[in-house]
Amino acid sequence: MIKPLLHEDPQHIGTYRLVARLGSGGMGTVYLARSPGGRTVAVKTVHAHIAADAAFRTRFRLETDAARIIGGRYGAQVIGADPLAGTPWLATEYVLGPSLDEAVSLCGPLPEPSVRALGAVLCGALGQLHGSDVVHRDLKPSNIMITAYGPKVIDFGIARAIGDDRLTRVGAAAGTPAFMSPEQASDREHTSAGDVFALAGVLVFAASGHGPFGGGQPADLLYRVRYADPDLTGVPAALAPLLARCLTKDPPLRPTTRELAAALHDGHGQFADHLPPVLLAEIARRATEVWQFRPERLPATPPEQSVTGSGASAPGHKTGMSRRKLLSLAGLATAGVAGAGLWFRPGLSEAKDAKTPSAAGSGPAASPTARDVEGPWRIVWSTDPSMADDTLPPLFAGRTVMVDYGGHLRGLDPADGTHLWTYSTTSSGSWAVADGSRLYGIVGSTEKEHVLVSVDPTTGLKARSLADQSDFKLPSSGGSADLLHASGGSIYLAAGSDTPNEYDWHLHAVDSSSGKVRWRVPLKEAKKGDGYSRGFAKVIGNRLILGEAPHDLLLTAFDTRSGKVLWQNTLPGWASESSTPVTTGEQLASDGSQVYLGSRTLQAVSLTTGVAIWEFGRDRYFERYENSYNHYGPPAVRDGVVYATEKGRGIVAVDAKRGELLWEVPVPDGNASTRAAPPVLGRTRLYYGEASGLGLIDLSTRKYVRSLKTPIRSFALATDKRTLVGSAQDGTVEALRLDE
């Protein structure tokens, strides 16, 4: 769906004038844009802090290459790209037509001639990819756009070269369970035969309106993909045997794309001749309406709107879009690329001369009356949407709350949520860190410049530059710097670069007062070919604990005085494709003698030796084939007890010394969640993230009490230890006072 541009969005990316937003999320932003000649294009940009990861850049370059290989006949034609830019971008044609899942929703299951024509063209698309030794790995209805001239395959974010193990690790996103091949579901090599399997699943969906293995939880789908027969109910009788051959579990028994195309269609007639009239009309409507909307840009501070019970605007207040325009925008096709993020000018500080309220209400007393807020909590304030990313917890320095939004760091007043200032932290993708009183970030005017700066958290203005590119010994041709932690007068960061033949990353300790590099030590690559994976770090006593987790967790302890490696240990299977249990070092739980981690199991690791002291949960029963998913969220520890959320159940309390279960509290169905945030421990209560918001456990009675419906996902306690601040999926930031 097309949305207006935000005030901070750029006017242009490359030579393309931005017109609107098509989508935004955790990875980047997709814009609708016009070329100098008036051509409508889709421009995908990537968050700078994501692009700093060398593995991601490899993946983005491969996505660009795969899109070029498939070309304009079978895909969204690549118009321009710069995968090496500080903020990488990819411009493609704007595909005028619905996705296959939208087409089936509109028309119902497609007639057999449509399915056959669709399958034959898709065989040609896959054959072109396979001829260049590339497999798609995520073919599904939402990745196939229907135009009058034929289907177009989009989104090559996890495509990779056949047999390239390094790129297998880069493109670690496993795909979509409902349309995944059995070999992919079993973590085996996904070859061109795997794409044929996925294509057959897509055709089953087109012909019947349902996938070949039904729906439900990912674990259930993966089991059925590997072991169950496909459901071909509703598939035309003449097509069912052919698609069944494609859906066999044994890859060598599946037909090739050439064989399948010949069996599906004789090649006569135009593609549009085989489409139902309703679908053709929808394609024509979208092609017309793409020119019927006017570009809009939201102001920096949206004016307050008076909302009545019926949802009408106050008299005389401009509502923004007419019904005609809203309908035309809602009907436009997706761009053929997906992602999320926010463009920015590196190093730009936008400190406000006066406070500009962003709270949803009129002040601290305003609370959303439509929500149930009864309980030992009070909603202090709630901002407008698009204020922060929901993947990162807030930072606290002095009296300021700071949240990240696609490279922008925003300062909020903890009293009422007022937006105080905005600071662009980096051109290469590193998030800022704080030591409780001061804020630090890496900025640069180009992708080849990295400057560590100190920022005043009260004003959002740069206080001073501390270290630069030369201090980190980065090559003049580029490299990346990744801020990790600030504590005890030192700032810790990783800096280096990846090349196909060399891994060159170092950990630096920088004096936060003088900017002098106190020590610099080489980092070990977690696994050959993985490159550097953005990690987390935290100072515990005289040790800096660094964790890197592309898949397995490489945990390293450094002496904070000298940088000497004290121990190193690898915890296998720690992170899954869908979740990384710890986002920042601040979420790392420790009692001074051990550090506690949650993933498939709960583990205690000795701070002295790095050895795993105990492991909890290995013998706990979970649904079959859920081993690739995290069972435990990041824990919290206090007074010899480790607390963690357990997938699908509730809260467990484990003895910190022995790893034995002390007690557990089940919560209502659908409420338990292994969220990115650790539980928050109050004096007598435990607060945890759940599917519907925030849950409450009474520690004295060890019983579930109630839940609060709140959109926040990533949250943390403010410095007053009474206010919980978190961000939601739509970018809203909310503060809750925990009254105990």
For the chain, give percent helix, strand, coil, nearest 5. Answer: 20, 35, 50
Give residue 365's pLDDT: 33
Q: Report, as an integer, the average pLDDT of 629-640.
A: 86
Give residue 26's pLDDT: 59
Give residue 703's pLDDT: 92
More confident residue, 516 or 390: 516
More confident residue, 650 or 361: 650
Domain ranges of the chain: 1-96+290-300+324-340, 111-143+158-277, 425-570
Q: Report, as an integer, the average pLDDT of 24-44.
A: 82
Enter the tokens of residue 185: 């579901």
Least confident of 100-109, 472-481, 680-689, 698-707: 472-481
Considering the domain 1-96+290-300+324-340 in this protein, what is its CATH number?
3.30.200.20
Q: Report, as an integer, the average pLDDT of 570-579.
A: 62
Give residue 237's pLDDT: 94
Q: Report, as an integer, the average pLDDT of 435-443.
A: 85
**419 forms bridges with which residues in the sheet?**
356, 412
What share of the chain has pLDDT > 70, as a percent? 77
**Look-up: residue for tokens 């260049």?**
132
Q: Report, as an integer, the average pLDDT of 56-67.
A: 75
Give residue 540's pLDDT: 94
The sign of the CA dihedral 586, 588, 591, 595 is: negative
Alpha-carbon gap, residue 333 to 289, rounded angstroms:
10
What pLDDT digit, counting tens, does each position of 113-136 carry?
999 999 999 999 898 888 877 788
Q: Report, as an integer, the average pLDDT of 701-723.
A: 87
Q: Report, as an integer, the average pLDDT of 144-154.
A: 90
SS3 category, 80: strand
Contact 485, 433 (CB under 8 A): yes
More confident residue, 301 or 644: 644
> Residue 264: pLDDT above 70?
yes
In what order do the strands lie in the sheet containing 661-666?
A: 636-638, 641-646, 650-655, 661-666
Q: Report, as an integer, the average pLDDT of 650-676.
A: 83
Name the pLDDT band for 376 (thresholds 50, 70, 90). confident
Q: Which of 374-378, 417-421, 626-630, 708-712 has the highest mean pLDDT?
A: 417-421
> Residue 719: pLDDT above 50?
yes
More confident residue, 663 or 442: 663
> Residue 694: pLDDT above 80?
yes
Least confident of 64-78, 166-180, 337-351, 713-727: 337-351
Give residue 134's pLDDT: 79
Name the pLDDT band for 160 (thresholds 50, 70, 90). very low
Contact 233, 243 (CB under 8 A): no
Give residue 446's pLDDT: 53
Alpha-carbon gap, residue 590 to 596, rounded angstroms:
6
More confident residue, 508 or 67: 508
pTM to 2 decimals?
0.53
> Residue 227: pLDDT above 70?
yes
Give residue 548's pLDDT: 83
Give residue 199's pLDDT: 96
Q: Report, as an integer, the average pLDDT of 649-665.
A: 92
Give residue 656's pLDDT: 94
Give residue 485's pLDDT: 93
Q: Report, as an integer, the average pLDDT of 224-249.
A: 94
Q: Report, as an integer, the average pLDDT of 465-488.
A: 82
Q: Report, as an integer, the average pLDDT of 458-487.
A: 82
Going by their DSSP bridges, the two strands 602-606 and 408-412 should be labelled as: unpaired
Give residue 57's pLDDT: 75
Q: Report, as an integer, the average pLDDT of 690-699.
A: 85
What pLDDT digit, counting tens, does each position of 313-357 carry?
333 333 333 333 322 333 333 333 333 222 222 233 344 433 333
Q: Which of 56-65, 280-289, 481-490 has the highest mean pLDDT?
A: 481-490
Q: How many helices (H) and strands (E) does the chain have?
A: 12, 42
425-570 has which fold?
Answer: Methylamine Dehydrogenase; Chain H (2.130.10)
Give residue 323's pLDDT: 30
DSSP alpha helix (H) spans, 108-217? 112-131, 165-170, 182-185, 192-208
The neighbour count for residue 7, using CB atoms within 10 Å, is 11
> Residue 412: pLDDT above 70?
yes
Q: Which amino acid is at 448?
A: K
Name the pLDDT band for 360 (thresholds 50, 70, 90). very low
Name the pLDDT band for 3 (thresholds 50, 70, 90). confident
Give residue 574's pLDDT: 65
Q: Report, as an integer, the average pLDDT of 588-603.
A: 90
State the average pLDDT for the chain: 78
> Residue 294: pLDDT above 80?
no
> Residue 364: which of 414, 435, 439 has the closest Cα?
414
Name the pLDDT band for 577 (thresholds 50, 70, 90). very low
Give residue 35's pLDDT: 85
More confident residue, 424 or 204: 204
Give residue 674's pLDDT: 57
> Residue 465: pLDDT above 80?
yes
**Can you spell out the DSSP letters for 504-538?**
EEEEEEEETTT--EEEEEEPPPSSTT------EEE
Q: Which of 333-347, 387-401, 438-452 has the highest mean pLDDT?
A: 387-401
Which helix (H) or strand (E) segment is 400 a member of? strand 400-405
> Residue 490: pLDDT above 60?
yes
Q: Which amino acid is at 737?
A: R
More confident residue, 157 or 207: 207
Give residue 373's pLDDT: 62
Class of domain 111-143+158-277: mainly alpha
Q: Which amino acid is at 695?
A: G
SS3 category, 642: strand
Domains 1-96+290-300+324-340 and 111-143+158-277 in one fold:
no
What share of the chain has pLDDT > 90, as a percent? 28
Q: Report, as an integer, the average pLDDT of 294-302.
A: 62
